[in-house]
Chain A
């Protein structure tokens, strides 16, 4: 499946509706920017049957886009995951695998 370029997914603003001079007047605006779309190579997949809930992946994710659920397991928010692979690298039981994005 061919990955579409970012701009075709997010609607671009016209010059009249953009803030002047590149000013961004509301903080935390990067939350609206789904950087997960940069992910072109690989994505992490967790095998929950082997997960020990050590939360090392949760702590190490640089985004961070791994969240702790109520049931104690973790989940990855793929809207923001860039596929860096740190979670898979650091998992002590190696239950996270980097799977090619193309699949």
Chain B
């Protein structure tokens, strides 16, 4: 399948994906580092390369509210935000998932204030992990393009019908120029034909959206949502397989590297997964059986795949790019640890908080983390409390 080789920053790649996707409505409010997405989309709108409705809203709260309206009217909708912008959208996030709106939102992950920091950090998206949105973490610019396209298909499936966050690390992907391959417009148009919603706001066929549910009904609606998001565990690989046929690029819910026979595993998400693979390869040169596991699909969490990958690993280094204040460990640690409870040889699971506010994490720091984890294993401490990697005392 013919593809074009281009060099773009992550934000531009997302904008191209949206341009090609037959989107109907975009409403967004600018916030660093997502600004290039909205700027590029506006360039496309003004030069005619994209014909969609664009609403210049006064805040992120309005942005999400507007696309919910558009989604309920049967449109394909997109928005983008980061950090405080996602924070401002908080109450509406739950409305979007509760109303089953297949909205695509690109989040250029950025640290939550205070103090103000505009750099890569997962605190914004982790703060919304229970809002009922699907969440995918990209590792590079190619993934930002590919996963945005696939997100539209995944969200709009009748067996899913839920909104989705496509997370790309702020500045590390959003503002980093990399080479990538872009599909032809006609190919994407066929892959993503205009949305046809079965239930929508329509004067010809009046319906009610956003009704009130008393205690005797609310639980059942939430049970429906659980069914939808868990269907995505099966639906995501199906959609990604369909994309593979067009692009030649394969995507799986987790990305294992040297995991076969690994005794030690480095688990991470986002851009640092690449660093983890490099660190694993370096440690292998020194004879340590280290593998790296990148979690691509975070919500729904691919429990079975992760458990299968880690069940025979003795020492697991789980890296979280955010703090879950007051919790024993970070979000990724909290997802993984219960899966390995009660397995035959309970592994040592060492949780490290790294990269906050865009702080660089080097492969050498990951080697240090592995050494700490190995020391814990020696002392028999199975699940030490999460510790910072690289904090100045």
A7, A18, A26, A29: the one contacting B224 at CB < 8 Å is A18
B98, B205, B212: the one contacting A21 at CB < 8 Å is B98
Q: List 15 A-B contacts (CB under 8 A).
A: A13-B220, A15-B227, A18-B217, A18-B220, A18-B221, A20-B199, A20-B221, A21-B100, A21-B209, A22-B209, A23-B208, A24-B207, A25-B199, A25-B205, A29-B208
In the bound complex, do residue A15 and residue B220 qualify as a contact, i.e. CB atoms below 8 Å apart? yes
Asked if B213 CB lies within 8 Å of chain A CBs, one says yes
In the bound complex, do residue B223 and residue A22 qualify as a contact, i.e. CB atoms below 8 Å apart? no
Determine the distance from Cα of A14 to Cα of B208 in the docked complex, in whole angstroms.
20
In the bound complex, do residue B207 and residue A14 qualify as a contact, i.e. CB atoms below 8 Å apart? no
Chain A residues packing against B (C-beta within 8 Å):
7, 12-15, 18-27, 29
Residues on A with C-beta less than 8 A from B342 are: none
Residues on B with C-beta less than 8 A from A7 are: 216
B227 closest partner in A (C-beta): A15
Residues on A with C-beta less than 8 A from B209 are: 21-23
How many A-B pairs with Cβ below 8 Å? 53
A13, A14, A22, A26: the one contacting B211 at CB < 8 Å is A22
In the bound complex, do residue A22 and residue B210 qualify as a contact, i.e. CB atoms below 8 Å apart? yes
- Nearest 9 Cβ contacts at the A-B interface: A15-B220, A24-B208, A21-B100, A15-B223, A22-B211, A27-B206, A25-B207, A21-B99, A7-B216
Asked if B161 CB lies within 8 Å of chain A CBs, one says yes
Determine the distance from Cα of A13 to Cα of B224 in the docked complex, in whole angstroms.
13
In the bound complex, do residue A12 and residue B223 qualify as a contact, i.e. CB atoms below 8 Å apart? no
Q: Of residues 192 to 229 in B, which have CB atoms within 8 Å of A's CB atoms?
A: 199, 205-213, 216-217, 220-221, 223-224, 227-228
Chain B residues packing against A (C-beta within 8 Å):
98-100, 161, 199, 205-213, 216-217, 220-221, 223-224, 227-228
In the bound complex, do residue A15 and residue B221 qualify as a contact, i.e. CB atoms below 8 Å apart? yes
A15, A22, A26: the one contacting B98 at CB < 8 Å is A22
> Smallest distance from the beta carbon of A21 to chain B beta carbons, Å?
4
In the bound complex, do residue B217 and residue A12 qualify as a contact, i.e. CB atoms below 8 Å apart? yes
Residues on B with C-beta less than 8 A from A21 are: 98-100, 209, 221, 224
Residues on B with C-beta less than 8 A from A20 are: 100, 161, 199, 221, 224, 228
> Smallest distance from the beta carbon of A83 to chain B beta carbons, Å?
20
Among B99, B210, B212, B224, find the residue whose CB has the most chain A CB atoms closer than 10 A. B224
Residues on A with C-beta less than 8 A from B98 are: 21-22
With A20-B161, A22-B213, A23-B199 known to touch, is A14 a contact of B206 (CB < 8 Å)? Answer: no
With A7-B216, A12-B216 known to touch, is A22 a contact of B207 (CB < 8 Å)? Answer: no
Residues on B with C-beta less than 8 A from A13 are: 220
Residues on B with C-beta less than 8 A from A22 are: 98-99, 209-213, 221
In the bound complex, do residue B224 and residue A15 qualify as a contact, i.e. CB atoms below 8 Å apart? yes
Determine the distance from Cα of A21 to Cα of B98 in the docked complex, in whole angstroms.
6
Among A19, A21, A24, find the residue whose CB has the most chain B CB atoms closer than 10 A. A21
